[in-house]
Amino acid sequence: MKRKVKELQIKDFAVADLFCGVGGLTHGFVLEKFKVDVGIDFDGSCKYAFEENNKSKFVHRDVTDLSPKELKSYFSKGKKKILVGCAPCQPFSVYNKKSEDATVKQKSDRKWKLLYSFSDLIEKVKPEVVSMENVPLLVKFNNGKVFSDFVKRLEKNGYFVSWKIVNAQDYGVPQRRKRFVLLASKLGEISLIEKTITDKHFKTVRQAIGSLPPVEDGVSHPSDKLHRARKLSDLNKKRIIATKEGGFWRDWDKSLWLKCHTKKKGKDFNSVYGRMKWDDVAPTMTTYCTGLSNGRFGHPEQDRAITLREAALLQSFPMDYKFFNSTETLSTPSIARHIGNAVPVELGVAIAKSIKKHILSIGKKTRAKASLAI
């Protein structure tokens, strides 16, 4: 008689998302039919968007105060565990890397120690699969010690580890965004799936936001409060009018220049006050992505910066993703921060697909070995 072998399936696993924000990474797993039990974040203002769109529990907690016992309690009983997360990346930014300010360094040190807290939880909770997404500078930060310590602890605890630096545009995100992605598993070798776009036909700004109705700066579209751009000053209005598609401040008459543009160092600021290109990907969305002066965030055609809705779409959030409770006052800076900090949904999908492929592959190998043993 043949012995019945239980083959691993997606339904055998549950996911917890540390540093979940409004759920960009979680939503990628939801779209790939994973059960996400919980999202945990220090920013309580993310609760509505996370829970409303993902039907998962949000826990307002600082990860450094999260005990292994508490984290274990959020996973569904009887399920194998997948622990994912994107620790806040400010300490690994170019700004903080160059800064000599003691206060910034102190805050930075606390932030990167979140990775050590992440390691502590992995070591004690023992999830079968782990994923961590961050900025590429993590690999070199503090002479590579933070990254090296993280990987060594995973390997010491029996994980197979792989990592790579990817560009989100290669996975269907209409945005030029380089990210570090690590995958680790106790079940066997694991790696990120190959690029889903290999012909350089990336999803463009036009494809992402070109069908949205036009809006004036400072005015919300009547049917979509999120489709609202910041009000421009008279001077900045003249500046955006003087900027061609794909251009920036060098397009202007010198009477419109800022003082910094007249200095040698300021002449290298090529990404501020710029317009996007319709038939190219967008620049990296940041927490200030709706500010004209904060990057190349000008609309390709309309005389304004991009709206919150456009920023969300460029982060590959679905059009129906809800970022605020309609009964509450919309906070533009807060939502811009939520959107800019998020893992792009399509990159989340790629990570989820990679873990799904890994699980199913291990399941098939288990069944094959069992068949040979009979």
Closest CA to 296 of 313, 305, 231, 207: 305
Q: pLDDT of 180-232, one tens digit each?
A: 999 999 999 999 999 999 999 999 999 999 999 999 999 999 999 999 999 99
SS3 letters across 329-370? CCCHHHHHHHHHHCCCHHHHHHHHHHHHHHHHHHHHHHHHHH
Q: pLDDT of 82-138, one tens digit each?
A: 999 988 765 444 434 444 444 444 444 555 688 899 999 999 999 999 999 999 988
Residue at 188 is within a domain: yes
Average the pLDDT over each of 3-12, 321-330, 334-343 and give the range with the smallest value.
3-12
Q: Are 230 and 222 in contact (CB under 8 A)?
A: no
Closest CA to 22 of 41, 8, 37, 7: 41
Under the phi-then-psi rule, with left for phi > 0, alpha for psi from -120 to 50, and beta for the rest, what region is 134?
Answer: beta
**Predicted confidence band of residue 144 (pLDDT cuts 50, 70, 90):** confident
Phi (first) and psi of residue 136, to 5 degrees: -60, -30
Cα 301 to its chain centre, rounded Å, is: 27
Query: What single-letter DSSP state applies at residue 328?
Result: S
Q: pLDDT of 16-33, one tens digit each?
A: 999 999 999 999 999 999
Residue at 364 is within a domain: yes
Query: What single-letter DSSP state applies at residue 237?
Result: H
> Which one of 20, 89, 260, 289 is the catalytic residue?
89
Residue at 289 is within a domain: no
User: Quick one: tokens of 196?
Assistant: 């889903």
Query: Is pLDDT at 70 greater than 70 in this prediction?
Result: yes
Q: pLDDT of 218-268, one tens digit each?
A: 999 999 999 999 999 999 999 999 999 999 888 888 888 877 665 555 455
Query: Is pLDDT at 324 greater than 50 in this prediction?
Result: yes
Q: How far apart are the C-alpha atoms of 119 and 114, rounded to whole Å? A: 9
Closest CA to 282 of 320, 315, 324, 327: 315
Closest CA to 20 of 33, 169, 31, 45: 45
The DSSP H or E segment spanning 59 is strand 57-60
89 is catalytic: yes
Residue at 318 is within a domain: no
Q: What's the CATH number where 24 sits?
A: 3.40.50.150
Residue at 4 is within a domain: no
Cβ neighbors of 103 (< 8 A, separation 6 or more) are none
Residue-number span of the structural domain to which 143 is assigned: 10-198+343-373
Query: Is pLDDT at 6 greater than 90 in this prediction?
Result: no
Determine the pLDDT at residue 15: 98
The DSSP H or E segment spanning 57 is strand 57-60
Residue at 228 is within a domain: no
Instruction: Compute the average pLDDT of residues 168-191.
Output: 97
Q: How far apart are the first and last CA of the chain?
A: 9
Residue at 107 is within a domain: yes
Residue at 246 is within a domain: no
Residue in the block written with tokens 């010198």: 254
Query: If DSSP codes are grouped into helix, strand and coil, which group holds residue 183?
Result: strand
How many structural domains are present in the chain?
1
DSSP 1-34: -PPP-PPP-GGGEEEEEET-TTSHHHHHHHHTT-
